Each structure stands twice: as structure tokens, then as C-alpha cells.
Structure 1
Amino acid sequence: MSDPEENWESYSAQYASAQAGHIDQLRGRIDPIKLCFRASSLRQGIPCTVDLSRKRLCAMMGGQNCHGEIIFDDNVTWLARFRLPRTSSQPSEARAWILRNPTPEIFDWACESDPENPIGADYILMEKLDGKPLTWKKATPQQKEKVMQQLASHISQLARLEGARLDRFFPLEGSKALLESYLAMIANGEIDSCCPVDTYLVHRFRQYIVGTLSKEIPAGDKFFLKHPDDKGDHILVNDRFDIVGIIDWEWTRTVSKAEAFSSPCTMWPVAEFYTVSNKLSAEELQFAAMFQRRAGKILPTMY
């Protein structure tokens, strides 16, 4: 693939072509008739249709998943969520654990490895939330404050879910399988062909760390849940900026208290951050004060 810094147009064209190939590969594995039959069976036989065209799947696609709308005859709409078959996707051992119960209501799910899965791919049938991804930079100060108030309340609830072991929420075997998959792809040039030696060595070091984690975690340490991708578009809001859902929890991990309750990266002053400034933004300070008011009794030594 072309170097994006040298020829952006060529790189974009190749990227779009590869993306279309991934979508077509996924579409070829999914049986839409069996998908509709399964969905209908979960709603007392109400007929439904699903559009799995490339255009429709691309319309609701992120870095790891794409979605198709299942529309029932009584105007109820579900989402069918599918894992994209990219080279950077997790190996089957990790994917089997990652399929989880996210914020939207889950009606059905199955792993591709399940012999009773007739669909042909990993899938989740889930509620379609009536909201749109939050675009932080376009929100007004009043809208941001409303979102921060709700988010502070939500995170303070997460503070109650403490775990005594890191591998309680992400089995270390899943991490090992994921790293082994990356090492194989680096070695054969599928990913990071520009500096493979450095990348390979970094992943070998990560492999070593994973192997020693369970032995080095003090018995009395507490860990807390952390959303893995809190850049803003994981929050779904309505036109009044009420939070209707927080999605994309599949890479959720448990981390230390300091990391778990740091400000979401959507509030970071990115330009200053990349100039090695560690000064908190006004939004971060505002959010910290809101969070402290709510979680102070749970985490009295947070700040």
C-alpha cells in the first residue's frame, strides 16, 4: 500500500478498495434469510427485512464493526452488529470473550465458532438507540456542560464496580492470543511494514508483561472499569443533548483508580498535549469538579 504521506490520493483509493473488499467478504458469509428468520423468531414470528448492501453496511461502520438495520412489519427497528474481517481484528479466542452486553438492549448474539450459529458470522441483534454520536467540538458550552453533568453521574456509578483482579474482566489468555496474532501479522508484513522490527519487539515486550501480570498484582489492589475509546463519539445524544446511550465497550479493561477516573480524551487540549504540556484544560477542571461532587463519598482521595 502507498505511503499516505507521499501519495494521499493513491493511499485513499487503495484504502477504499480494501474496505469494500472487507465488506464484501463479510456479506458473502452472512445468510440474510436465516438472519431474518432468527430475528422474527425472537418477536413471536413478526416478519422483518434486512438490508445488507455494501452502501447500507458502510453507512453505520466504525473501525471494528458495521451494522445493518432489521426492520419489522410493526415498524420496530433493530440493529445487527457484525465484526469486520480486518487483519487487525482480534483472533477468535479473544472475540469469543469480547461479545458482551453493551448499553443497548441485547436480543440475541452468537460467535462464528458456535456450531449452532446459522448466520455465518459473529453477530449481535440489539436495540437501535434513538441518538447520534456526540461531536464535542461542535457543541456549545451549555451543551457540553449538560453532557458533562450526565457523564459525571455515569462514571461515578462505575466507581462502585471495583475488581480485585485485572484478569477478572479480560482473561489474560485472550490478551496472549491477541498478541500472538499481531506478531504473526507483523512478521508476514500484513501490518506496520514501515518499521516491522521495532513493532515486533514492542509486541514481544507486551507479551512478556502479560505473562507476568498475574504474579505481580498486589492482593489488596483495586481496579476499576475504563471505557477504552472515550473520544466522544461513543456517547449517543438526542437533539436536547440528553445521553441516550454509551456504546463500544468491547475493549473495556480494568485499570488503576488514577487512570480509570481521568478526564475523557475528548476534553484534552490536544495541541498543547503534543507539545509536552500536561496542563489541564478548563473543561477537564470543570468535569473534575462535577465528578468529585458525585463520587467524593465513594472515592474520597480521588483528587
Structure 2
Amino acid sequence: MACTILALLSNDDRPKISSMMGGMNVHLDILFDDGTVWLACIHCTTAVTPPRDVQDCILRSEYATLSWLRRIGFPAPAAYGYGLTAEPNIAGVNYIIMDKLEASPLHWSSLSSDQRNHILHQLAETYLTLELHSFDQAGSIYPQDTIGAFADSVAYEVNDHQIQLLGPFDTLRKYLDHTIHLYLHLIEASEWAVDDPIPILTSLKNHSTVIDFIYAIRMTRAIIYLSMINLAFLEDSNELSQEEEDLAAIFESLERSDMAGCIQNGRIFHQITFLLDTGDRIDDCKAHLKGFYKFLGEQNWEWETWHSSALEMYYGDPILQLLMARV
């Protein structure tokens, strides 16, 4: 059946072309003569994209994940195929071909209470569907529904000119250990740009001392079924939002107190995740670090006191010594 790539007809329509650009992808509509619309998702290569081998792993995993979600009845677009430049590929770019779903971005603040409640029920159903199809390891999905190493633009190492992805991991402890040590390596190698790397280094090292605590309270499931970020905390607060309390109540009404507990007790993982993601923004890092320690019971924690103590504790660390010599 004949088709048309609409972008090729819109060379002078700047707003239309701009709407096709995502953060790391270009999205092109493919219109068939019968009115069906597919989407060509083309991965872009820029100065900040990972090496080609990592990009290929990311695309293969994305395609496999979409296919797996469809098979378990999850409302995901159907993916029809993909191409890699490393394989015979006349397009010359990495791409995935999938259905185009007509939808609009979710603006939570503009929704009525009934609309929010409806979405929270849908979210609970989604969590329960995913829980029925859990895996034994933490990693990325690849073809044949296998779990492999993390297909991530950051989670990889280069040893002897060979790229090594991280994972898969069979415990939360191993996952967090490897992730934190990777960030430490990026800071040491000046591959993660931060204004003041020394506080970040000491905070990451200090976090590794409480990982046993996290795993001991059996929080592996909780890191998967956290509340959505748009329902999450502000700054150093560990209080649940009204929507998070409502989501936990929905699980309780379904007699799933275990899932409700994931929402109620998952704030510490939000704090850890945001600490890693905001490490290059020191003010945000301070707030989330304070929230982290408040969760552990240190309500009077202060940055200045902790910072000086952490520097003293890790003064002999070779990475810290290297960073201090650069300042």
C-alpha cells in the first residue's frame, strides 16, 4: 500500500517540523492511503549521545520492551520493526516503526478531582498488571523477553576500549552499588560536569553505607512501584501528597496492602534517585540529601555539619584527594 512521509512535504512549515523533534528522537508521520498513520522514531546522534554500540542496545531494548508490553496486554503502541546502522539498513539511521497513538500530554494541575481519581485507578491497574509479569533480575528487556544489561546512555563503562553495560543485577544492593560507583568514576574522570564535585563525592560515598539498610527492609519491589514523579515530594519533604495517599488507599481497597506500602514507604528511593540525577545542581542536592537523612530519623541534619564531617571521614580516599588537588 502506498504511503507518504508528511515531513518531506513540510520543508517550509517550521512549527510542524519543530513538533517532530523530541529530546533524543525525531518522529515522522507515515500516512498510508487508507488513513492509517504509523510513526518512524529515528534516534538522533549528537555530541551528548552515547557510543554507537550503546545506542544500538538502547534501540533494541526499546523495541523489545514495546513488544513485550503489547503481549501482556499493556496499552502500548504496536511496534512493527526496527533498523540499525550496524546491520543492513537502507535508511542509514537507527529507527523503530510503530503505531501513532492520538493523545495529548497530561496536565495534572488542570484535571478535576474526578479525573485525577480515574487516572489513579488506572495507574493502580497498570502496576498490578506489571506485577503479574515480574522478572528475577533488574535490567533491560531484550528480544526473546530476556533480561540483560541496562540499556542506558550513562550506565556503561569502557575497559580496554571495550564498552561494558552494567547489569543485570539480582539484588537491589548490587544495582545501587554499581550505579553509585559508576557516578563516582564519572566524577573522577571529569565526565560528569559539576560545579563543586567534592560535596557530591562525599554524599555518594556516604550513601553506600546505608544500602544494607535499604535492602534489609525488603524494598526491592518498592523501587519499582513508586508513585509517579508528578505526585512526588518537594525539596526535603518526605510527606505524601494527597494523590499519593489516594493511590495507597486504592491499593488498600483492592486488598493489596503490600502495594500500598510501596507508595507509603518509597520516598527514600525518590530521594536517592533525585540525589543522583541532581548531583550537578548543588542546591537541589542539598535539599534531597536533607530529606534522605530526615527519612533515617535525623530531623536536625544540617549540610554544613555533615559536609565537614564527611570530608574528614573520607579524607584519605584517593578519589577525594584527586578532586581536592584540582580545586
Compute the TM-score of the two structures, normalised by the length of structure 1.
0.56
Q: Percent identity?
A: 24
Note if contact 2:248-2:261 (Cα within 8 Å) is conserved in structure 1.
no
Q: Which has the higher helix share?
A: 2
The answer as to 2:78 corresponding to 1:105 is: yes
Q: Which residue of 2 aligns with 1:140?
A: 112
How big is the shift at 1:168?
A: 6.3
Matched, 1:50 2:6: yes
Measure how far apart 1:144 and its partner are: 0.9
The DSSP-based 3-state class of the residue aligned with 2:156 is helix
Q: Deviations over 1:216-271 (max 9, x none)?
A: xx9xxx9xxxxxxxxxxxxxxxxxxxxxxxxxxxxxxxx921111121111124xx
1:158 aligns with 2:135: no
Give the AA of the match of 1:141: S
Aligned 1:46-85 pairs, distance under 5 A: 46-52=2-8, 53=11, 55-85=15-45
Cα 1:264–1:84 change in 2 (3 A) is: same
Correspondence for 1:258: 222
Matched with 1:290 is 250
Q: Which amino acid aligns with 2:132?
A: R
How far apart in 1 are the matches of 2:200 and 2:244?
A: 36
Could you say if the C-alpha distance between residues 277 and 128 of structure 1 is closer, same or farther in structure 2, counting changes exceeding 3 Å?
same
Alignment partner, residue 122 of structure 1: 94
> Which of 174-183 and 163-172 deviates more?
174-183
- 2:149 is matched with which residue? 172
Compared with structure 1, are the counterparts of its residues 135 and 162 closer, same or farther at alpha carbon in structure 2 (3 Å cutoff)? Answer: same
Output the aligned Cα RMSD: 4.0
SS at match of 2:115: helix
Q: For the residues of structure 1 that align with 2:136 and 2:39, how far apart are their CA atoms?
A: 35
Higher relative contact order (CA 8 A, sep 6+): 1
Counterparts in 2 of 1:64 and 1:160: CA distance versus 1, 3 Å: same
Instruction: Call closer, same or farther: CA 1:105–1:185 in 2, change over 3 Å.
Output: same
Q: 2:232 aligns with which of 268, 289, 292?
A: 268
8 A Cα contact 2:251 2:259, kept in partner: no
Shift of 1:76: 1.5
1:115-151 superposed Cα distances (whole Å, 9 cap, x missing partner): x111111111110102112111221211111111111
Tell me which amino acid in the other structure corresponds to 1:195. Answer: D
- Contact 2:251–2:260, Cα closer than 8 Å, also in 1: no
- C-alpha distance 165-256 of structure 1, shift in aligned 2 (>3 A): same
Unaligned segments of structure 2, at least 5 residues: 67-75, 142-146, 164-181, 209-214, 265-327
Aligned length: 208
User: 1 CA distance for matches of 2:150 and 2:245?
Assistant: 38
Q: Compare CA radii of gyration and give the structure with the larger one.
A: 2
Q: Compared with structure 1, are the counterparts of its residues 297 and 166 closer, same or farther at alpha carbon in structure 2 (3 Å cutoff)?
A: same
In 2, Cα distance between equivalents of 1:51 and 1:300: 46
**Cα contact 1:159–1:295 (8 A) shared by 2:** no
- Residue 51 of structure 1 aligns to a residue whose secondary structure is helix
Please report how far the alpha carbon of residue 88 of structure 1 lies from its aligned counterpart in structure 2 after TM superposition: 2.9
Shift of 1:297: 8.3
Distance 1:57 1:186 in 2: 37
State the SS of the aligned residue for 2:121.
Answer: helix
Question: What secondary structure, in the 3-state scheme, does the structure 2 residue paired with 1:148 have?
Answer: helix
Residue 191 of structure 1, CA deviation: 6.6
With normalisation by structure 2, the TM-score equals 0.52
**Cα shift at 1:66:** 2.3
Q: Is the 8 A contact 1:94 1:174 kept in 2?
A: yes
